[in-house]
Amino acid sequence: ENGNDLPKTIISREYSSEWKPGDEPYYPVNDAKNGALYAEYKKLADAEPKVIFGGRLGEYKYYDMDQVIAAVLDRCDTELQ
Tell me what pLDDT residue 2 has: 66
What pTM did the predictor assign?
A: 0.55
Tell me what pLDDT residue 29 has: 73
Tell me what pLDDT residue 36 has: 92
Q: Where are the domains of the chain?
A: 1-81
| DSSP secondary structure of the chain | --SS--SS------------TTS---S---SHHHHHHHHHHHHHHHT-TT----HHHHHT----HHHHHHHHHHHHHHHH-
pLDDT tens track of the chain, all 81 residues?
Answer: 566 776 778 888 877 777 788 887 766 677 898 889 889 999 999 999 989 888 877 888 878 888 889 998 999 999 888
